[in-house]
Amino acid sequence: MQQFYTQFSEAQPGKKFTNGLVALFTGALSMIFPDLLHIIIAAWLISNAIMQFLQRPGFFVGFVSFVAGVFVYQFENFIPYAFAFVLIVMAFGAILSGGISFFGIITFVFALLITGTPALANIMIGAFLVFYGSTSLYTWWQFRKLRKQL
């Protein structure tokens, strides 16, 4: 008789909590202040790059996020396309790292929606960031709950 079990291992679960809070806050700001979207998104992309640089496996995503953040800050007309490019890189990273994942597919769909409707970029970007933040916080909460049981 074989026994199967699931093992969660996260070296620093606090990063999920930090990423979740920053993404939720940024998503709310991007919906509330659409005139400051280029500054808000550039700040999130650069902070995401710093968080990815701190995690060694996410170096490429961090580099792409940093370049897109600088690009968004300089050329605010390209916000939807630069942000969608970062989302596509994140989606392919999620899909290629562990098979077809829910997060990767939803991220790819958001990238298509942002590119397809650049007039509603602040709402779509805000919706993605709220989704990203809530899934990060949920993952952190599940890991914390599992850790208490062990």
Tallying the residues shown for the chain, one arrives at 150
What is the structure's pLDDT at 110? 92
Q: What pTM did the predictor assign?
A: 0.82
What is the pLDDT at residue 100?
64
Residue 99 has a pLDDT of 63
Quote the CA–CA distance of 84 and 88 in Å, as a whole number.
Answer: 6
Residue scoring higher pLDDT (96 or 25): 25
- Provide Rg for the chain, Cα atoms: 16
Q: What is the pLDDT of residues 32-47, one digit of tens each?
A: 998 999 999 999 999 9
Query: C-alpha 31: how far from its chain's center?
Result: 16
